[in-house]
């Protein structure tokens, strides 16, 4: 049927800031619940879902180190922040009946499973949403790189990057320029050459070199994530 989703297994990347609502910090439970509903609606289609959530709503390594903190320690704090976000999202998803596993790149066995690739794949096959926490487990990386790495390892067909306040990739910042134009499609090479802010350069290189498409869309639009899986709505495809 034409309503069948275009993808069987996807990675959804959202920033930590997506969880904070209007609070400006931390987790805003109604916002987390709203995103959980968006994920559930796609899960209900039978799509296997990987999820990576950033940590910027709680702590960013770069801002810590800019204020004099040792960089690697600050980055570990950022990674721990992503674990808190993962647990918050796990709770919201299970509340609406979606089974999940939080899988951490840093061992903390009382809180999350350790990352074992084949085990994670099995969870996906059993329709469990895998929430990959603690980034890559390494300082000097971002959760964009973690999302790209896990998407490759899990053989996802695409990365879906849910953005707040913007529905794709524009030639210039649409919040500052009324005449900014959204790309329907753009290559990774052009994203790099034009220095468009989509993902950091190491994540883009990892996606490009493994032919992993990236779909940038607006997370604020209710039903938006599900719509795109059915081929509707506005977004930018980077490949
Ligand atoms: N981080 C890290 N290694 C990783 C992923 C994340 O060191 O593999 C740290 C880094 O300090 C980063 C913080 O965790 O600033 C939060 O992640 P990110 O900034 O990607 O979150 P987002 O901007 O998506 O909310």
Complex ipTM: 0.97
- ∠ CA 78-63-60, nearest 5°, is 20
Q: Annotated binding residue at 139?
A: yes
User: Mutate which of 35, 51, 60, 67 to test ligand 1's pocket (most atoms within 8 Å of Cβ)?
Assistant: 60
Q: pTM value?
A: 0.97
| Residue 140: both structure tokens together | 């000097």
188's tokens: 């990774």
Q: Please name the helix (run of DSSP H) or strand (run of DSSP E) that holds residue 215, with its range, or none.
A: strand 214-218
Cα–Cα distance for residue pair 170/147, rounded to 1 Å: 22
C-beta of 98 in contact with ligand 1 (< 6 A):
no
Distance CA 216, CA 129 (A): 20
Report percent pLDDT > 90 for the chain.
94
Radius of gyration of the chain (CA): 17
Q: Where do the structural domains in the chain lie, given as residue ranges?
A: 9-238
**Tens-place pLDDT, residues 183-236:** 999 999 999 999 999 999 999 999 999 999 999 999 998 999 999 988 899 999
Ligand 1 centroid – CA 4 distance (Å): 34
Q: 3 pLDDT band (50/70/90 cuts)?
A: low
How far does residue 3's CA lie from ligand 1's centre (Å)? Answer: 36
Q: How far is CA 26 from the centre of its chain?
A: 17
Angle CA 44–203–195, to nearest 5? 115
Q: What is the pLDDT of residues 58-87, one digit of tens each?
A: 999 999 999 999 999 999 999 999 999 999
CATH of span 9-238: 3.40.1160.10
**What is the pLDDT confidence band of residue 4, given thresholds at 50, 70 and 90?**
confident
64 in contact with ligand 1, CB cutoff 6 A? no
143 is in an annotated binding site: yes
Provide the pLDDT confidence category of residue 19 given band limits of 50, 70 and 90.
very high
Q: How far apart are CA 134 and CA 92, in angstroms?
A: 19
Is the per-residue pLDDT at 44 higher than 60? yes
């Amino acid at each position: 049927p034409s309503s069948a989703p275009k993808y069987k297994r996807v990675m959804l990347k959202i920033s930590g800031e997506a969880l904070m609502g209007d609070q400006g910090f931390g987790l805003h439970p109604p916002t987390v619940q709203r995103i959980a509903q968006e994920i559930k609606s796609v899960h209900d289609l039978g799509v296997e879902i990987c999820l990576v959530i950033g940590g910027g709503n709680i702590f960013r390594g770069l801002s810590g180190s800019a204020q004099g903190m040792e960089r690697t320690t600050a980055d570990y704090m950022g990674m721990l922040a992503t674990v808190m976000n993962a647990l918050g999202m796990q709770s919201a998803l299970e509340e609406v009946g979606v089974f999940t596993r939080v899988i951490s790149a840093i061992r903390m066995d009382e809180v999350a499973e350790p990352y074992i690739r084949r085990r994670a794949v099995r969870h996906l096959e059993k329709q469990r949403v895998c929430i990959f926490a603690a980034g890559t487990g390494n300082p000097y990386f971002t959760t964009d790189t973690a999302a790209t790495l896990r998407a490759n390892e899990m053989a996802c067909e695409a990365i879906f990057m849910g953005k707040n306040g913007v529905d794709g990739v524009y030639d210039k910042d649409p919040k500052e320029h009324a005449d900014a134009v959204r790309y329907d499609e753009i290559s990774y090479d052009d994203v790099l050459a034009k220095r468009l802010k989509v993902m950091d350069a190491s994540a883009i290189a990892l996606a490009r070199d493994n032919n992993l498409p990236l779909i940038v869309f607006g997370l604020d639009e209710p039903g938006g994530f599900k719509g795109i899986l059915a081929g509707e709505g506005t977004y930018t495809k980077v490949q």
